[in-house]
Amino acid sequence: MKNGHIDDSIEIERYELFAEPTYHFNLELERRDFFKLLGGGLVLVFTLDALAQESGRQDGEAGRRGQGSSGPKEIGGWLHIAEDGSITAYTGKVEFGQNIRTSLSQVVAEELRVPIGSIRLTMGDTDLTPFDMGTFGSRTTPTMAPQLRKAAAAAREALIDLAAEQWKVDRAALVVNDGKVTNERAKQSIDFGKLTKGQKLLKVISDNTPTTPPDQWKITGKSVTKVDGRSFVTGKHRYTSDTKLPEMMFGRVVRPSAFNASVVSVDSSEAEAMPGVKVVRDGGFIGVAAPSAQAAARAASAIKAEWKTEPQPSGKELYDYLRKQAAESPRANVTGSLADGLNQATKKIEQTYTVSYIAHAPLETRAAVAEWNKGKLTVWVGTQRPFGVRGELAEAFRIPEDRIRVIVPDTGSGYGGKHTGDVAIEAARLAQAAGRPVKLLWTREEEFTWAYHRPGGVIDVSSGVRDDGTITAWEFHNYNSGSAGIQHRYDFPNQKIVFHQSKSPLRQGSYRGLAATANHFAREVHIDELAHTVKIDPLEFRLKNLKDERMKAVLNAAAKTFGWGKGKSTKNTGYGIAAGFEKGGYVAACAEVSVDRTTGKIQLVRVVEAFECGAVLNPDQLKNQIEGSIVMGIGGALFEAIDFDNGKILNPRFSRYRVPRFSDVPVIEAVLVDRKDLPSAGAGETPIVGLAPAVGNAIFDATGIRLRSLPMAPNGLKA
């Protein structure tokens, strides 16, 4: 780890960003060629090395650490109005299916008083868009939307100033609508494009720029369908994996036989003899570039590599391993006195909950197209951190960042899984050696094996409760899965909460909601156990231990729509409830499940989820995210798990790793609690955290069987 620290205010657990770079290239041959291309010469080499060092120390590491400037101060950095009136907004955020291309366009259109169709958004292009740390942590809505709103509002005011000056009238007489500034009294109007004449708006965006208050929103706060939806339903949208360049070759990486294996010997003579095939060996990296994907696959499989492996833990011993490997003296968060709390309790419970590693399995596997041109590297890649990946490329190839451009086409999803630059680096290394552009598309098996996973973890909870339903003591230890969502909104007077970092046997990293899913599962199932212990209704029990009005509001909203307490549980049907808070969003979920006692099959019948994230920007797209989180959550709750042994993934395909499908989906109702009086928070992650505990609690309600491990029933319920 180097400078392994991320700004705490932003994110505290991004394992993949602390990881060592995957590759340490020698680059000898190509590096000479690279300087030749630039014109060569000692002075130039010296200058570039100095630049590279400089860049490594500043930009490169800033990129990895996720720090950087807050972006341009002037309007022109965020927004451009061309002479023909077309409006382009710029953001370093990327579109992965969260539909932020739509919600951000709404914000810009609103402030410029133009139809949403007039806005083009340029996203995630390190040469064109302002620096951005990355699209994660549900930060787009709370930070980028207000930024673009302010920029667009400042542009609107600047346009009024320009017109007022041109017409020599008081700006108060002017209004803006439909791409024009109009003086209604003089019946005079002028297009935006004629005012800016396509020039960059250099005016500084002031914090005092008046933005449209939520009660006057006309475009934001409304359900707008995906702005470029047509290009997706027609198959015309070009994902990274669809990108094609002239002379482009296809890459394939020869993967080690197991994790942490080192190469002993390589015989690539057969592959090298194949027509048009370029074999690259550099440090631990072995790969090929070939004229077609088939030729690349053939060449890669013709390379005989021998690997040295080391014994590694298996999934069966995971939880013991994580406890044993836990770091010493972790930081504990303590309130009150646990001893006092336990003394006041009439009932005490101790339980352990576990969480498996799972895979993001984005439907578009990792893909990159890399091209070197006169010493400048351009990479199209599906990553959630274009600037971070630029930094990783700079580090891997030891060139300054200003010689690298990373472009992120709207991508086939990520869910927190596409933060690292592996595929970009691999494609760039192959392209450098081949002297031609190279496309590299990971196979599904590579995606399951060589990407990183959501961390597995163990959580110990011990607690005390009084017969009146007051939780008096709360002790919570999480090993390895992470600290997101480990804090809560309940009123526990005596508590101790600890996250224990551990050593992960698998490469692990971010996943939608991070550890909030694990922590909410343990907490909300445990609270259900307490409620049953003192025989109080689980909803009432939660409300009794809560003062937070926003949390209570979502619980009541979900319960009301669900009809909580009205359904009668049977031995085959049960109801469960859970609630949570994370990343500025409040969530409550109610679930109905049915259990087939003969087959053990668990079927979700109905899920109602209430969500509150401040002022809603786009109700239907918000519902879409909530529904999607619920569906994705079903997998981790019931059956998804990465099976591994001795440095190998044992189920790296969809035929062996079950993901949610049509028949798994219950009736879903998303209830939006719209708080126009509160700033908008992001919504791509938090709606996932309530599902697993609500389902687990419902299964208990039906069967009396308490499931404490995620996934809860990979092979159905064994009664």
Partner 1 sequence: MQRISELHVNGSKLRIDADADRSLLSVLRDDLDLTGSKYGCGEGQCGACTVLIDGQATRSCVTKLGATAGKKVITIEGIEKNGRLHPLQEAFLEADALQCGYCTPGMIMSSVALLSKTPTPSDQEIVRSMEGNVCRCGTYPRIVTAIRKAAQSMKGGGR
295 token code pair: 């030729």
SS3 of 512-553: the string is: CCCCHHHHHHHHHHHHHHHHHHCCCCHHHHHHHCECCHHHHH
Query: Which CB, 396 or 649, lies closer to partner 1?
Result: 649
Sign of CA dihedral 552, 558, 562, 568: negative
Instruction: Name the amino acid, one letter, at 79.
Output: L
CB-count exposure of residue 547 (10 Å: 0-12, 13-18, 19+): exposed
| Ramachandran angles phi, psi of 341, nearest 5° | -60, -40
Query: Which CB, 75 or 94, lies closer to partner 1?
Result: 94
Cβ(594)–Cβ(626) below 8 Å: no
Applying CB under 8 A, the span of 158-166, 354-362, 389-397, 638-646 interacting with partner 1 comes to 354-362
- CA distances to 11, 57, 578, 632 from 154, rounded to whole Å, are 30, 35, 43, 39
> Considering the rule CB under 8 A, would residue 550 count as an interface residue with partner 1?
no
Q: Which residue shows structure tokens 């469960």?
A: 576
**Cis? peptide before 400, omega within 30° of 0:** no
Cβ 177 to partner 1 shortest distance, Å: 27
Query: Which CB, 670 or 699, lies closer to partner 1?
Result: 670
> Considering the rule CB under 8 A, would residue 238 count as an interface residue with partner 1?
yes
Residues 359-378 that bind partner 1 (CB under 8 A): 360-365
Over the window 388 to 417, marking each residue x when it contacts partner 1 by CB under 8 A and - when it does not, the resulting string is ----------------------xxxx-x--
CB-count exposure of residue 708 (10 Å: 0-12, 13-18, 19+): middle
Nearest to 149 by CA among 70, 223, 75: 75
Applying CB under 8 A, the span of 27-35, 227-235, 273-281, 577-585 interacting with partner 1 comes to 227-235
> Considering the rule CB under 8 A, would residue 513 count as an interface residue with partner 1?
no
Sign of CA dihedral 467, 473, 474, 477: negative
- Binder to partner 1 among 55, 91, 98, 463 (CB under 8 A)? 98
Nearest to 332 by CA among 474, 174, 497: 497
Cβ(518)–Cβ(481) below 8 Å: yes
> Considering the rule CB under 8 A, would residue 244 count as an interface residue with partner 1?
yes
CB-count exposure of residue 609 (10 Å: 0-12, 13-18, 19+): buried
Cα distance between residue 289 and residue 271, in whole Å:
10
- Binder to partner 1 among 170, 655, 715, 718 (CB under 8 A)? 655
Instruction: Name the amino acid, one letter, at 684.
Output: G
- Binder to partner 1 among 334, 335, 654, 719 (CB under 8 A)? 654
Residues 285-344 that bind partner 1 (CB under 8 A): 292-294
> Considering the rule CB under 8 A, would residue 226 count as an interface residue with partner 1?
yes
- Binder to partner 1 among 237, 348, 398, 552 (CB under 8 A)? 237
Query: Which CB, 51 or 668, lies closer to partner 1?
Result: 668
> Considering the rule CB under 8 A, would residue 208 count as an interface residue with partner 1?
no
Applying CB under 8 A, the span of 76-84, 127-135, 479-487, 650-658 interacting with partner 1 comes to 650-658
Nearest to 30 by CA among 377, 267, 402, 440: 377
Cβ 286 to partner 1 shortest distance, Å: 21
Query: Which CB, 247 or 491, lies closer to partner 1?
Result: 247
> Considering the rule CB under 8 A, would residue 620 count as an interface residue with partner 1?
yes
- Binder to partner 1 among 631, 683, 689, 692 (CB under 8 A)? 631
Cβ(514)–Cβ(687) below 8 Å: no
> Considering the rule CB under 8 A, would residue 4 count as an interface residue with partner 1?
no
With a CB cutoff of 8 Å and minimum separation 6, the contacts of 53 are none
Cβ 364 to partner 1 shortest distance, Å: 5
Cβ 498 to partner 1 shortest distance, Å: 33
How many positions of this chain bind partner 1 (CB under 8 A)? 57
- Binder to partner 1 among 662, 677, 715, 718 (CB under 8 A)? 662
> Considering the rule CB under 8 A, would residue 661 count as an interface residue with partner 1?
yes
> Considering the rule CB under 8 A, would residue 665 count as an interface residue with partner 1?
yes
571 token code pair: 């031995």
- Binder to partner 1 among 234, 265, 329, 715 (CB under 8 A)? 234
DSSP code for 622: H
> Considering the rule CB under 8 A, would residue 46 count as an interface residue with partner 1?
no
Q: Which residue shows structure tokens 């049960």?
A: 574
Cβ 353 to partner 1 shortest distance, Å: 24
Applying CB under 8 A, the span of 242-250, 258-266, 453-461, 640-648 interacting with partner 1 comes to 242-250
- Binder to partner 1 among 197, 218, 236, 331 (CB under 8 A)? 236
Applying CB under 8 A, the span of 37-45, 234-242, 523-531, 671-679 interacting with partner 1 comes to 234-242
> Considering the rule CB under 8 A, would residue 239 count as an interface residue with partner 1?
yes
Cβ 717 to partner 1 shortest distance, Å: 21
Query: Which CB, 99 or 504, lies closer to partner 1?
Result: 99
> Considering the rule CB under 8 A, would residue 630 count as an interface residue with partner 1?
yes
Applying CB under 8 A, the span of 260-268, 305-313, 525-533, 652-660 interacting with partner 1 comes to 652-660
SS3 of 79-144: the string is: EEECCCCCEEEEECCCCCCCCHHHHHHHHHHHHHCCCHHHEEEEECECCCCCCCCCCCCCCHHHHH
Cβ(421)–Cβ(106) below 8 Å: no
> Considering the rule CB under 8 A, would residue 276 count as an interface residue with partner 1?
no
- Binder to partner 1 among 41, 198, 210, 229 (CB under 8 A)? 229
Cβ(147)–Cβ(90) below 8 Å: no
- CA distances to 259, 394, 422, 524 from 26, rounded to whole Å, are 22, 14, 17, 51
> Applying CB under 8 A, which residues contact partner 1?
96-99, 225-226, 229-230, 232-239, 241-242, 244, 250, 292-294, 360-365, 410-413, 415, 441, 443-444, 620-621, 624-625, 627-632, 653-655, 659-663, 665, 668
